[in-house]
Structure 1
Amino acid sequence: MCGRYSNSKSVTQIKKEYPFTVKNIIGESFNLAPSQPGYIITADEPEVIQAMHFGLVPFWAKDKKIGFSMINARSETLLEKSAFRPLVQKSKRCLVLADGFYEWEKAGKEKLPYRFVIPIRDLFSFAGLWSRWKDPTTGDPYETFTIITTAANDIVKPIHERMPVILSKSDEKLWLSKDLPIADILSLCDSYPADEMNKFRVSQDVNKVVNNHARLMEPVNSQ
Structure 2
Amino acid sequence: MCYDVQAQLETQLKRAMRDGDEHAIREIKEKLARETDLPLFHVSGFQHPKMFIYTNENPYYPTVSQWGLVPSWARDKKDIWNKTLNARGETIFDKNSFKKSAKDKRCIIQIDGFYEHHHHGKESIPYYISRKDKKPISLAGLWNEWTEPETGEVLNTFSIVTTEGNHMMAEIHNNPKLTGPRMPVILPEELENKWLIEVKDELDIKVLEDLLIPFPESGMQAHTVGKLRGKHAIGNQPEATDYFEYEGVKEEY
> If the length of structure 2 is used for normalisation, what is the TM-score?
0.80
Partner deviation per Cα, 1:155-182 (whole Å, 9 max, x = no partner): 1111220000000001111111226711
CA 1:149–1:16 in structure 2 vs 1: closer, same or farther (change >3 Å)? Answer: closer
AA of the residue aligned to 2:119: K
Q: Tell me, in whole angstroms, the C-alpha distance in 2 between the residues paired with 1:15 and 1:73.
A: 24
- Residue 28 of structure 1, CA deviation: 1.0
Task: Give 4+ residue runs of structure 1 displaced > 4 Å after superposition.
Answer: none
Q: How does 1:121-132 map to 2 (within 5 A)?
A: 121-132=134-145
CA 1:144–1:14 in structure 2 vs 1: closer, same or farther (change >3 Å)? Answer: closer
Larger Rg: 2
Q: How does 1:150-189 map to 2 (within 5 A)?
A: 150-160=163-173, 161-178=181-198, 181-189=204-212
Asked if structure 2 preserves the Cα contact closer than 8 Å seen for 1:32 and 1:38, the reply is: no
Which residue of structure 1 aligns with residue 43 of structure 2?
Answer: 32
3-state SS in 1 of match to 2:158: strand
Partner deviation per Cα, 1:35-90 (whole Å, 9 max, x = no partner): 11122100011121122111111111111111111100111111110111111222
Number of corresponding residues: 218
Partner deviation per Cα, 1:130-172 (whole Å, 9 max, x = no partner): 0111111001011110000000001111122000000000111
- Residue 17 of structure 1, CA deviation: 5.0
Which residue of structure 1 aligns with residue 158 of structure 2?
Answer: 145
Which of the residues 230, 235, 241 maps onto 1:217? 241
The answer to whether structure 1 residue 78 and structure 2 residue 98 are counterparts is no
3-state SS in 1 of match to 2:69: coil
CA 1:135–1:15 in structure 2 vs 1: closer, same or farther (change >3 Å)? Answer: closer
Q: Tell me, in whole angstroms, the C-alpha distance in 2 between the residues paired with 1:181 and 1:44.
A: 17
Cα RMSD between the aligned structures? 2.0
Q: Tell me, in whole angstroms, the C-alpha distance in 2 between the residues paired with 1:5 and 1:175.
A: 21
Partner deviation per Cα, 1:2-53 (whole Å, 9 max, x = no partner): 0111112x34x54455316437213210112221112210001112112211
AA of the residue aligned to 2:208: I
Structure 1 range deviating more: 130-139 or 24-33: 24-33
Structure 1 range deviating more: 30-39 or 72-81: 30-39
- Residue 112 of structure 1, CA deviation: 0.9
Structure 1 range deviating more: 20-29 or 212-221: 20-29
CA 1:210–1:69 in structure 2 vs 1: closer, same or farther (change >3 Å)? Answer: farther
Partner deviation per Cα, 1:105-130 (whole Å, 9 max, x = no partner): 12233211011110213312100000
Asked if structure 1 preserves the Cα contact closer than 8 Å seen for 2:12 and 2:52, the reply is: no
Q: From the two aligned structures, give the one with the greater helix fraction.
A: 2
Q: Tell me, in whole angstroms, the C-alpha distance in 1 between the residues paired with 2:135 and 2:237.
A: 18
Is there any run of 5+ residues in structure 2 with no aligned partner, and where? 174-180, 246-250
CA 1:159–1:187 in structure 2 vs 1: closer, same or farther (change >3 Å)? Answer: same
Q: How does 1:194-205 map to 2 (within 5 A)?
A: 194-204=217-227
The answer to whether structure 1 residue 114 and structure 2 residue 127 are counterparts is yes
Q: Tell me, in whole angstroms, the C-alpha distance in 1 between the residues paired with 2:170 and 2:237.
A: 27
Q: From the two aligned structures, give the one with the greater strand fraction.
A: 1
Q: Tell me, in whole angstroms, the C-alpha distance in 2 between the residues paired with 1:217 and 1:3.
A: 15
